Amino acid sequence: MYPERFTESIKKVEAAREKNISLEPARMTAQEKEDLLKAYHPDYKENEFEVLKIGPNKGEKVPKELAAILQAHSRITADSVNLEKPDYDVDVLIIGGGGAGASAAIEAHEAGANALIVTKLRIGDANTMMAEGGIQAADKENDSPAIHFVDAFGGGHYAAKRELLSKLVCDAPEAIKWLNELGVEFDKDENGRMVTTHGGGTSRKRMHAAKDYSGAEIMRTLRDEVLNRGIPVVDFTSAIELILDDKGNAAGAVLLNMETEELLVARAKTVIIATGGAGRMHYQGFPTSNHYGATADGLVLGYRAGAKLLYADTLQYHPTGAAYPEQIFGALVTEKVRSLGAKLINVNGEAFMHPLETRDVSAASIIRECSDRANGVDTGNGLGVWLDTPMIEKIGGEGTIEARIPAMMRMFAKYGIDIRKEPILIYPTLHYQNGGLDISDDCMTTKVENLFVAGEAVGGIHGRNRLMGNSLLDIIVFGRSAGKNAAAKMKDVKLGKLTLSHVDSFEKEIKDSGIETNEVSPKLLPDYRRKEEDK
Amino acid sequence: MDNMVNIFLFGKKYEVPDNLTIMSAMEYAGYQLVRGCGCRNGFCGACATIYRIKGEQELKSCLACQTKVEDNMYIATLPFFPLVKKVYDIEKIAPTEQIMMQLYPEIYACIGCNACTKSCTQELNVMQYIAYAQRGEYEKCAEESFDCVMCGVCSARCPAGISHPQVAMLARRLNGKYLAPASEHLENRVKEIKDGTFTELIEALMQKPIDEIKELYNNREIEK
């Protein structure tokens, strides 16, 4: 039940529901999309970006908040850590315990490598766990990896590195098969055909799902497999600097026990950064759908060690974050809600856009509706538009919501909103880091030898925008590939003397360029404690 | 001004706005969380919490990120519970009744007290899914337990020492791998890719000038 102040608008939504269900809003033309993005997408707000003064991407712009942590002081100095007696000595060090890290660990272990996962929270505390909607793969008869490629390449504004994208789409069916054989429960019909739907910007129904717990189902299965294999997982332990050897190759990491603050040293022949995204940086003050640890740590670690970033100036704002009630402000409302037929409706009951445009276009369109067009709903905590969930039951029949999106039903039911009968309020939320570390198609960084990257910390797989379901896919495809390649590469690695001299050099660069900052990075966790000025 | 309520974090009193979740109330009170906080959205099970409202007998359980504070709420978080996780090789086991007997024999010691179900933070019928596991009905166990976030509260309350989330995890993997029907179209596509069916198409796309790909993208036929 909504408070009375929403009643008038809800009545309009209800009155127009039948008409809006049968309406097929026109898709925007390429030109319309371009104009819309330039005017309303947060990536185009020039004053929210800053040009980097130091490091491999010197001269390029990134979000202000990211610039602050990329050009910040290390938590250590080179001489404050004894590298002579490592606490861990392994073949493959995997930093991050999400879907990419777990996939990498399983494949490295399969290849016979001695692998170690370190993670600053627990294994599985990751954006993977929260991915609701699904995972793409072109495995139906009317589809092909080539069609998948065109959808993703166009959706990403033709900016993806083609060799990465072709790997993504060509390895996709195999990734689904691998997950299924590990025991992931995909939605299937009685004959075994995968139940697949559209996502924004797809031209074929290739979204595979496990209800709306798709990421959780994948993550808990991968975690179970990591544990079954006895792969060691050091939890509540973050990586705070990479260690290089005297040839400048990656050779381990300095670790921090998050509870005791003890420093530890992990030596490794190859290192995989699988640290995920950056939602908790709250770029431009946006709320986020991301997990607690999404603070772009891997980008900081890699950057200081000399790795290059690609498209670090582009973020994904998921069009449908919860806008009401405020307890779940910014939480993800899966795109699958729209895949199942719910449309976006403004305060007057009008379906103002096609519900399945790509995410950047949808987010920009919602922002326009709530700003210049003044057709937003006042939530009491900002603005939003309706996502008319009862349409799903009308289209798919009663019970569709409970069967297909139970997590969404539960999330709103906790606050007394029955999404089967009442629409929900949404507004864009910071969801995904499109950019990241630049890699070749073997997952190794283009600048630092023996440093591999997988998952959301990679830049260039999707270009400047990502389609729904291609991230769960990339963590599996590139996670597995990084694990295999790091395990193969370590066989030829003869580690030289370990060093942290790059940490001191970077500090010197900060000083020489005149940057004045008190910031220390990586950030590791956001600080949500009540601030002194609010007391 | 917000309406304020009194809560007791590990017995210590704090005054917090009444519209906060338990998790954000802890942060409001000054806790920098490390343990007991993961996705903050009800999917990861990191923030299992028990509480009692002053004057009431019942000890309730919830996820801190999904539950609003109430006046006179005594709160203790349960950020870790030592569940028993048995290891197995998924390739070498079979979805028979015996596998549960081998790995999790304690499920047969269930006394039917239903404390697990009553304590479930996801409102699942936990005792029922354990009953399905006892009978080797893994498909039903998988379905009944599907929304489990493995927070461990059920196991903390179980007099028989059952690690319910791990039992369900095994059932789901058995179901996903062995019991659910195989996907022929998936097998076919994997084979086609291995056989190089799409290699030429993909290679063409790798070389194609951007304008030609734009043309392709803007004129795509979109499946209804």
Is the Cβ pair B122, A410 closer than 8 Å?
yes
Per CB-CB distance under 8 Å, the chain B contacts of A406 are 146-147
Q: State the DSSP H helix or E strand holding residue B15, giving kind and residue range, or none if neither.
A: strand B12-17
Cβ atoms of A474 and A96 within 8 Å: the answer is: no
Q: What residue in B sits closest to A260 (Cα-Cα)?
A: B34
Catalytic residue check, A338: yes
Q: Is A182 left (phi over 0), alpha (psi -120 to 50) or beta?
A: alpha
Cβ atoms of B186 and A180 within 8 Å: the answer is: yes
pLDDT along chain B (224 residues), means of 10: 90 96 96 96 95 96 96 96 96 96 97 97 97 98 97 96 98 98 98 98 97 96 93
User: pLDDT band for position A533 (50/70/90)?
Assistant: confident
Q: What beta strand segments (E) does A145-204 contain?
A: 196-197
pLDDT at A1: 83
| Closest to A270 in 3D by CA, of A103, A456, A108 | A108
pLDDT at A452: 98
pLDDT at A205: 97
Max alpha carbon distance in chain B (Å)?
A: 73
Catalytic residue check, A318: yes
Measured CA to CA, the distance from residue A92 to residue A105 in angstroms comes to 8
User: pLDDT band for position A381 (50/70/90)?
Assistant: confident
Note the pLDDT tens digit of each residue in B116-147. 999 999 999 999 999 999 999 999 999 999 99
Cα torsion B20, B26, B30, B33: sign:
negative
Max alpha carbon distance in chain A (Å)?
A: 72
Q: What is the DSSP letter of A489?
A: H
Measured CA to CA, the distance from residue B154 to residue B146 in angstroms comes to 15
Q: Does B19 touch chain A (CB under 8 A)?
A: yes
Per CB-CB distance under 8 Å, the chain B contacts of A109 are none
User: pLDDT band for position A534 (50/70/90)?
Assistant: confident
pLDDT at A532: 79
pLDDT at B165: 98
pLDDT at A326: 87
pLDDT at A531: 85
Domain with CATH 3.10.20.740 in chain B: 4-77
% of chain A at pLDDT higher than 70: 100
Note the pLDDT tens digit of each residue in A286-328. 999 999 999 999 999 999 999 999 999 999 999 999 999 988 9
Is the Cβ pair A331, B90 closer than 8 Å?
no
Cβ atoms of B103 and B88 within 8 Å: the answer is: yes
**Which numeric CATH code is attached to B4-77?**
3.10.20.740
Average pLDDT of the segment spanning A330-338 = 93
Measured CA to CA, the distance from residue B22 to residue B68 in angstroms comes to 6
Dihedral of the alpha carbons of B215, B218, B220, B224, in degrees to the nearest 10: -170
pLDDT at A291: 97
Strands B4-9 and B73-77: parallel
Q: Does A407 touch chain B (CB under 8 A)?
A: yes
pLDDT at A535: 76
Average pLDDT of the segment spanning A370-392 = 96
Per CB-CB distance under 8 Å, the chain A contacts of B177 are 180-183
pLDDT at A72: 98
Note the pLDDT tens digit of each residue in A226-259. 999 999 999 999 999 999 999 999 999 999 999 9
Candidate CATH numbers 3.10.129.10, 3.50.50.60, 3.30.56.10, 3.90.79.10; the one for domain A78-314+434-499: 3.50.50.60
The pTM of this model reads 0.97
Identify whether A325 is preceded by a cis peptide bond (ω within 30 of 0).
yes
Q: How far is CA B81 from CA A145, A472, B85, B156, B157, in A?
A: 44, 28, 12, 7, 11
ipTM of the complex: 0.97
User: pLDDT band for position A182 (50/70/90)?
Assistant: very high
Of B37, B193, B220, Cβ closest to residue A170? B193
Average pLDDT of the segment spanning A87-106 = 98
pLDDT at A366: 98
Name, in order, each residue with C-beta under 8 angstroms of A20's C-beta and a sequence gap of 6 or more: A343, A345, A349, A350, A351, A388, A391
Query: pLDDT averaged over chain A?
Result: 96
Average pLDDT of the segment spanning A492-497 = 96
| Residue B177 CB-half CA count within 13 A | 21
Q: Does A176 touch chain B (CB under 8 A)?
A: yes
Show me where the domains of chain A are located.
4-40+317-430, 78-314+434-499
CATH 3.90.700.10 at A4-40+317-430, yes or no: yes
Note the pLDDT tens digit of each residue in A433-450. 999 999 999 999 999 999
